[in-house]
Amino acid sequence: MTQSQKNLVFVPPNVATMGGIPMSTKEFMFFKELIENLIGINLTEQKLTLVQSRLGRRMRELGFDSYKQYIDLLQNDPMGREVTHFINALTTNKTEFFRENAHFDYLKNYLTDMFHHQTCYLWSAACSNGSEVYTLNIICEELKRDYPHFDYRILGSDIDTQMLQKASSGIYHKTELVGLPPLYLSHYFERGLKQHSGTYRFRTDMRHKLKFKNCNLVDDNDNFSFQFDVIFLRNVLIYFSKDTITKVIEKMWRHLKPNGILFIGHSENLHGLSHRFEAVGSSVYRAKK
Ligand SMILES: C[S@@+](CC[C@H](N)C(=O)[O-])C[C@H]1O[C@@H](n2cnc3c(N)ncnc32)[C@H](O)[C@@H]1O
């Protein structure tokens, strides 16, 4: 036995497959095209290892040892059950409470100026695990204390069904609450006890103005019966091609009221849709209608 073979004896069985089963370019191209057609995510070839590891995890759950088996399953999936798992596996869900905090300062001023006596409709259009939605909920509740006639409704949507489930539960581990001011933690969250110790749940009596919905940003069939005053569309455009960004931004414009406000991530841009929007702050745009 060579030295390297001896060393291998002590490697735990899962370590050898940690990066996933090696994926051919043809297999990668199949997954790349499928995810782009389904939800607009544009995977560059640098993402091959990431795709390998994320799909590898799903294939282990299914007991598969080749991408051919997985591709066959996706191609013969009339109910779309595996497609849902496939999408959930390939989305990136990084988020946090009060992320890019300057946007919430801007929102507070905007709401104070515009909405003391009206209902404001807000949409977090790629809400991941709900941190952004509950941040908006806190901002609106705080405003309501000062302006009791102010009212609001918040829609949180995402394509990832697992994230939406978590968002609807409103339950977070303390490590997911970094960024949340302690005062808000004690006012808006209940601490989990016994087996739930270490987790916090957003107070149920504080979330009756929230709704969550499974929505695909690249799908044109959303049938909202109203338009929004405020849309948060942050840190999702980075995953799309230029053409998809244009299409999604057009759609946001259609869903905004005249002078409605769109927030995008600080590293994102509107790709030439300046005839639709006017910049009014850092990564904040007003719909021209
Ligand atoms: C990085 S997270 C951003 C979360 C939050 N907006 C923020 O800034 O913290 C991106 C989210 O976009 C969602 N997403 C990606 N493509 C989508 C699509 N076509 N339709 C709806 N949501 C999508 C992902 O599932 C993911 O949860």
With 80 as the cut, is the pLDDT of residue 12 above it? no
The arithmetic mean of pLDDT across residues 213-231, rounded, is 93
With 70 as the cut, is the pLDDT of residue 141 above it? yes
How many angstroms separate the CA atoms of 118 and 116, rounded?
6
In the structure, which protein residues have their CB atom closer than 6 angstroms to any atom of ligand 1? 39-41, 91-95, 99, 126, 128, 132, 158-160, 163, 215-218, 234-236, 239, 265
With 60 as the cut, is the pLDDT of residue 19 above it? no
- Determine which residue's CA is closest to atom 13 belonging to ligand 1: 126
The arithmetic mean of pLDDT across residues 124-138, rounded, is 98
Sorted by sequence, the CB contacts under 8 Å of residue 1 that are 6+ apart come out as none
Q: Is 203 a catalytic residue?
A: no
Residue pair 284/263 in contact (Cβ under 8 Å)? The answer is: yes
Query: Residue 185: enclosing H or E segment and its boundaries?
Result: helix 182-188
Residue 63 confidence class, pLDDT cut points 50, 70, 90: very high
Per annotation, catalytic residue among 99, 158, 160, 234: 158
| Residue-level pLDDT at 15 | 38
Give 105-114 pLDDT, tens digit per residue. Answer: 999 999 998 8
Q: What is the mean pLDDT of the chain?
A: 92
| Residue-level pLDDT at 17 | 44
The preferred substitution site among 36, 127, 159, 239 for testing ligand 1, maximizing ligand atoms within 8 Å of CB, is 159
Residue 14 confidence class, pLDDT cut points 50, 70, 90: very low
| Residue-level pLDDT at 117 | 75
Q: What share of the chain is helix, strand, coil (3-state, %, to 5)?
A: 45, 20, 35
Give 191-205 pLDDT, tens digit per residue. Answer: 999 999 999 999 999
Q: Amino acid identity, residue 78?
A: P
Distance 127 CA to ligand 1 centre (A): 6
Distance 11 CA to ligand 1 centre (A): 37
Weakest-pLDDT range from 134-143, 219-228, 262-271: 219-228
In sequence order, what DSSP letters do the residues of 191-223 get, joined into one string? E--GGGTTEEEE-GGG-TTEEEEE--TT-S---
Sorted by sequence, the CB contacts under 8 Å of residue 194 that are 6+ apart come out as none
Joined together, the tokens standing for residue 185 give 């933690």
Whole-angstrom CA distances from 279 to 79, 100, 120, 261 are: 43, 17, 21, 10
The arithmetic mean of pLDDT across residues 37-61, rounded, is 95
- Determine which residue's CA is closest to atom 16 belonging to ligand 1: 39
| Residue-level pLDDT at 203 | 98
Q: Is 54 a catalytic residue?
A: yes
- Determine which residue's CA is closest to atom 27 belonging to ligand 1: 128
| Residue-level pLDDT at 168 | 98
Residue pair 131/137 in contact (Cβ under 8 Å)? The answer is: no
Query: Residue 123: enclosing H or E segment and its boundaries?
Result: strand 119-124
The preferred substitution site among 86, 158, 162, 218 for testing ligand 1, maximizing ligand atoms within 8 Å of CB, is 158
